Structure formats: structure tokens, C-alpha cells
Structure 1
Amino acid sequence: MAHSVPIARTSLTEEEITSVLGPLRSGWLVQGPQVKSFEEKWCAFTGAPHALAVTSCTTGMHLAVAALDLGPGDEVIVPALTWISTANVIEHQGATPVFCDIDLETFNIDVARIEGLITERTVGIMPVHLFGLAADMNPIMAIAKKHGLWVIEDAACGFGATYGGQHVGHFGNAGAFSFHPRKAITTGEGGMVTTADAELATKVQQLRDHGAVMSDLQRHLGPKPYLLADHIHAGYNQRMTDMQGALGNMQMDRAPAIIDERRGIAAEFEAAFADMAWLRTPKAPDGYGHGYQSYPCLFRPEAAADPAQVAAVNAARNDWMEALQAAGVSTRPATHAVHMLSFYAEKYDLKPEDFPNARAANDCSISLPLFHGMTDADKAHVIDTVRATAPV
């Protein structure tokens, strides 16, 4: 059978797989001691003073903006290229996402365009650390401070991403991470909220648990476990289970090795594709540490940057993706331009050309397989197939 490499593949140790049996045997299945240990290890790894495990990165961002009282009439600036949930959590609060174009070199928000989007209704900025590369946080935080705005970091892809030597997730008021199976650490579905703000952490903790002043575990371990907690918010049920916590807890013991492996794979690809000017590979600028959640490239970058040529580049990219798939290498567009998706395009009367760099990334990017546990044969097949099917 011909070799085939998926876009991503979950790689778990036997110890990690059996870890979920602990909560099942103990009878404590909901948010409990395993989640608490996972949170503690996440703090130790990222340097975040507070970490709160939740059901997904999306619910983590939702909890953060809800804790900051985002509501109708408010505006929040978000990059036009990101997963749809970045904008969705703003919509869910009745507020308005204001899209900002991206830097086509990094796929991250174009900081130079942010300030021009601020109005009297702007309350926050949600930069995204896309694909494992940190957004340029120093100028973003300077803009936020100047205009009195909060900052929530969408760090869904941010595991292992550093900026100036600091792990992402607590530059702003809060950050949110994803543990979806395409991420380096996975709990199936799941997420983590991080913050340096103790009051915000307390409110997020309460909101994730129906608005209760203490969790079931805190009550159970307290002097009067038979009394129910007070509820001071109309909160949500966005708690991680202890089975998920056990899985994440065990994987955190391998966190540095997982990041090192992903960076090593990226370095092999970079060396293998260095002579292919028609394929711009991801790089970490000075002062950045890339986590390589994925390996997003820009196909025919010079042509992609010209709006008049995007359609032709898109057609050629799609043909190449088909050829790669037929040869056993799965690919994907890096992600989508949210302003081109039907809901946002129709609600806000947006056109693809309104954010030309996001459009170019949407139509001309291609992510190659990169995941923890790639074998030498997997890597060789990707490299050989990319070169053998080169469309230029």
C-alpha cells in the first residue's frame, strides 16, 4: 500500500491512554483533582499566574469576554484571517467584531492597521497567535493602553509560542488555548484560560461553573460538603471533565519534548524547501519562538500579493493540492478569512477584496502535514512528494 500522510495525527503514549482510567475507577468524573493538576502544570510551563481548564478555546474566549462585560454596542478588533470562533464569541455577546487585515509575511494581524479602526465604541482587541507564531504583542499592548482597551489573546494555536522569551497567553488581560486533536496537546475537545489578573481569574472560574462561588471539588474538600454553594452570576457550564484533565495532565510531562520535536520537523522542511522560492515557508522572526501548531505556507507569494492574480494562484494551488492528495500527502488551506464566510459577509456587507491580504491567505495558502510523532518515512514522503509534484 502506498505511503499516506494525514494533515495531522494524534500521538499518545500508552501511559497517557491509560491515564483516563484513573478518574473512571475513582468515580470522580467531573472537574476535579486531575483538572487541578493539569492547570498547575500549565501554569508552570507557560509562566501564567492563573490557568483555568474549560471545554474548548472558544468557550475560554467566551468566558473571558463575558467576564470583561462585553455587550451590545461594543466593538472588538479581530484579524480577518482566523478561525471563525474568534469573531463568534464577540457576536455571542451581542457586540460587533471589527476586522483588521493581516501581515501576509506572518499571517498575523497587521499592527499598523489597528489604530485606524478604533472608534468610541471600541472596547478591546483580540490578536491571534496563528499557527504557533505570536502576534506582535508589544505595540498591540501599547495601543491598548493608549486607548484604554482590554486585550484577549486567541492562543488556540499558541502552545509553545513565545514572544521576547515569554510564553503567550498572559500579555493581555487573558489568553485562551485549544486542546483540539490538531493541537500539540490534546484532550479531545478542551481549552485553557490564562491570566495574570487574580480578580479576572476568579470571575472566569465562577462563570465556567454556573456562576458558583466555589467548585464542587472545593466544596467536597471543605468543612461542610453537604451545603450547596451560592451562585453570584448567571454563569455557564463550561467545565473540563477529569478524564480530559488526566489526559492533558500526563501530556504536560512531555511538553518541552513535544515542542522541540515540532520545531525539529519544521527545520527539516525549511532546509528541504529552501530553494523553492515559489513556496514561502513559515519562519520565526528574531525574538519569537514558533510552536508550529501547523506548517502554513504561501503558494506563489509574489503573485498572491497582487489582488489581480489571486484567482489564478488559487486555481493553481487547488490543482497542486489535488496532486498532493493523490500522491498520499494531505494538505489544507492554512485557515479561512472570516470576512469571506457567508454569515459575516452577509451581515456586514463585506467583500473579499475589503481585506486583500486575508483574502490572499485564504485563497493561496497551503498547510503541509506537521505533527508530533511523524516518522522519518512520513517526513521523507512529504518532502519527496512536494518536490516531485512542484507545479512550477
Structure 2
Amino acid sequence: MNITEPSFDENEIALLRECLSSKWVTQGPMTERFEKLLATRHQVKHAMACTSCTAALHLATLALQLGPGDEVIVPAFTWVTSAHCAEYVGAKPVFVDIDLSTFNIDPRELEAAITPRTKAIVAVHLFGLSAPMDEIMAIARARGVAVIEDAACAIGTTYKGRLVGSIGDVGCFSFHPRKAVTTGEGGAVTTNRDDLAVRVRSQRNHGATGAPDASDEPHGPWTMATFDNLGFNLRLSDIQAAVGVAQMGKLDNLLSERRRLADRYSELLSKMNSIARPLGGDVEGHTYQSYVIRVLDGGRKRRNELMTALAAENIQTRPGTHAVHRLGYYADKYRWRAEQFPNAILAEDTTITLPIFPKMSNEDQDRVVDFLDKACRGSS
């Protein structure tokens, strides 16, 4: 049993055929269509598709004009590119610990980490659960700090009724195959700020800044764009966007099914005292890109034993994600001490992501929970 599977049908095939028949396959009308769907869904003025959420995070730091001497606060338990985006522009990621009940940034640790050099906070909505945005925004606004919402896992996620990606200064989304909506690889930047949108559109398109001044030379077939920025080629293709348009058409059903499966997991696991279920935070808005449990006893060794037992039954699992500060690049460069972020380490060492995917049957779930229960009790 796979940990997840994308949901494809004839809708994706039809839109791919439409795209290929048009002969326009680079960024173009299909990408614009996809962007409009994203902007409408997440209630933002601007949605700009790009090659990945990693690219989106990079574009966000560029648009905010972060650079050397600046500090960017990042939760210590997240995917590595939440921190990489600061490194890309020469800023310094400053890790803070998480709340184990949500796996998201702890506002108390966040506030303690603010310095005069802090210029941005990366608020990760991990596994599809919103970070505590009221507290984060209050801290940020009081100090004039920008907020980047890392919503890689969180398309459709809400926080107290508000769509994530519309709360901070800029949002970043992923359409990797493990996400609820996929374009194979792909990402998007969202914002309500016109100035940031202008910069993102330029930076994802080689640094193009529009047509030259027509007073210097009348525009004609010879007219080419100006390039006043040093940019990148981070554009999404219309082929990928065609898949995204089809995926957006089934988003509500996909999220509804994930929530149903997650609620059922939580009920099935409720009598297993050695397992912590994902019940913290604004669970009403959780979209469960991943259903992540935590092993309460036995640490990493016990967690690994349980994952091994499930693998023996062809049930695929993964750890939740990384304690980024102890990965080689960051450990070598910044020498963070492991004990500075105990919850992040505990989360890395004791989390298990259980299978959750469209059309997962009750029998599939029963099988996962049955074998997990047997492994927890030491049965073969």
C-alpha cells in the first residue's frame, strides 16, 4: 500500500489534449487559467505559478528583498527548503522550536528569537494544519517583520475560517505528487501586495520588466522586453497547468475525502495509548496532506521498529519530516546544539506518516491500524 497516490481521470487527459492541440505548451493561457483558480480559491489578488514550492519560497525572499545581514525565523521541524530560501539570498535562518501538539512553530519560542536583524518569519502550515497565525501576525506586525506562509502542504487549509496564503505578506504552495493537488512538480506564490506581485512576476521570468519606453523607439515586431532585474527561469509550463486546472476542479472532493479518512483514523487509533494523534490546533481547517502520528514510548528505535513491521506487510510509511538544524549543511555551518530544539528532535525521531490517499477504502485503513496495533503490542 502506497503512502499516497494522486487522483487522475479523464479530466486531466482532456485538458492535456486541449493544451497540446493549442500548440502553446510553455507558460501561457492555461497557466493563467490555473492561477485564476488559485487566486479565487485562496481569496488573494495575485497567484503566480512557478516550478515548485522551493522556487516559490525563493521568489518570496527575493520579492521581500531579503539579503546578507538579515535573519529569517524558521521552525526547526519542517522540510529543508523552508530554511534554504533564506540561504539562497544570503540571509541567515534562525530556527525556533515547535509545539508538539501541532508540529507547527511555537509562538513563545518565536517571540523570544526576534532580534533587530529579524526581517521575516516563515510560518509553515505543516501536514495541512495552519500555524497559529493570530499570534504570528501580532508578533510580526508589532515589529515590522514580514510573514512568508509556507503552505506547501496546505492548499484549501483554513485558519479560523480564513484561507492560508492570504494572511501573511506572501504565501507559497506546492503541487508535488504527495500534495492534495498535483501538477507533477510545480508551485505558486500568492499575495495581496501589488509590489510583491510585480517582483515575483519579474524574477520568475528571467528578470523581465516589461516593454521599453515607446518614446525612444516605436513598438513593433522588433520590440523585446527590458531586463532591469537579475531573474531566473522559474515558470510553470501550460502542460503542467492543464493538469492543475483539472485537479482544482476536484479539490473540494479531494479535501473532503482526506478529512473523512483522517477522522476515521483518529477514531480507530483512539484506544491505542502508545500513539499520539494529530488533534492539536485549528483542526476544523486541517486538510491532512499527511496524517502524522507520534510514538509516545521508546523513541526513535521503537518508531523504527513499528515502521519496519508495517513495511513487512507492504504498508508504506515515512517519518514526519526533518529537524532541519541537525541536517549536515546547517549543523556544519551554524553549529546549532541539538538540545536547543528538543521538540523538533522528538518529532523527527518519533513521527510516522500513515497512508492516506483518494479512494482509500475502509478496509485499507483497517489493515493499517490492525497491523500498527499488533506491532505496538508486540504481536507478529
Which aligned pairs between 1:238-249 and structure 2 lie closer than 5 A? Answer: 238-249=234-245
Q: Distance in 2 between matches of 1:252 and 1:374?
A: 20
Aligned 1:89-108 pairs, distance under 5 A: 89-108=85-104
Q: Judge conservation of contact 1:77–1:126 (CA < 8 Å) in 2.
A: yes
Q: Is the 8 A contact 1:128 1:134 kept in 2?
A: yes
| CA–CA distance in structure 2, aligned partners of residues 147 and 354 of structure 1 | 24
Q: How far apart in 2 are the matches of 1:375 and 1:22?
A: 33
Q: Does 1:364 align with 2:350?
A: yes
Match in the other structure for 1:53: 49
Letter in 1 for 2:18: G
5 Å-filtered alignment, 1:144-163, equals: 144-163=140-159
CA distance in 2, matches of 1:213, 1:56: 22
Root-mean-square deviation over aligned CA pairs: 1.6
- Please, which of 118, 124, 127 is the counterpart of residue 122 of structure 1? 118
Alignment match of 1:22 (pick from 18, 32, 43):
18
Q: CA deviation at 1:12?
A: 0.6
Q: Measure how far apart 1:203 and its partner are.
A: 1.3
CA deviation after TM superposition for structure 1 residue 327, in Å: 1.1
Identity over aligned residues, as a percent? 46
In structure 2, C-alpha distance between the alignment counterparts of 1:40 and 1:263, rounded to whole Å: 25
Partner of 1:309: none
CA distance in 2, matches of 1:377, 1:45: 33
Residues 284/106 of structure 1: CA separation in 2 closer, same or farther (3 Å cut): closer
Task: Tell me whether 1:191 sits opposite 2:187 in the alignment.
Answer: yes
Partners of 1:98 and 1:281 lie apart in 2 by: 29
Any idea what SS the aligned residue of 2:241 has? helix
Residue 39 (structure 2) aligns with: 43
**Corresponding residue for residue 384 of structure 1:** 370
Q: Secondary structure at the match of 1:126?
A: strand
Unaligned runs of 5+ in 2: 212-218
Residue type at the aligned position of 1:55: T
Kindly indicate whether residue 310 of structure 2 is the aligned counterpart of residue 321 of structure 1.
Answer: no
User: What pairs up with 1:62-211 in 2 under 5 angstroms?
Assistant: 62-211=58-207
- Deviation track 1:56-88 (CA, whole Å, cap 9, x = no partner) reads 001001101101111111101000000000111
Q: Distance in 2 between matches of 1:375 and 1:324?
A: 18
How far is the alpha carbon of 1:42 from its aligned partner?
0.8
Question: What SS does the aligned partner of 2:105 have?
Answer: coil
Q: Which secondary structure does the structure 2 equivalent of 1:209 belong to? A: coil
Distance 1:17 1:146 in 2: 49
Q: How many residues align?
A: 371
- State which of 204, 208, 226 in structure 2 corresponds to 1:230: 226
| Cα deviation code 1:72-120 (max 9, x no counterpart) | 1110100000000011111111110000000011000011111211112
Shift of 1:284: 5.3
TM-score by length of 2: 0.94
1:284/1:290 contact within 8 Å kept = no
Gaps of 5+ in 1: 216-222, 304-311
Shift of 1:351: 2.8
Contact 1:75/1:121, CA 8 A, preserved across alignment: yes
1:296 aligns with 2:292: yes
Deviation at 1:352, TM superposition (A): 2.2
Contact 2:151 2:174 in 1 (8 A): yes
Q: 1:287 to 1:359 in 2, by over 3 A?
A: closer
The one of 246, 251, 267 equivalent to 2:263 is: 267
- CA deviation vs aligned residue, 1:189-230 (integer Å, no higher than 9, x gap): 100111111121121111111111349xxxxxxx95652122
Deviation at 1:160, TM superposition (A): 2.0
Please, which moves more after superposition, 133-142 or 6-15?
6-15
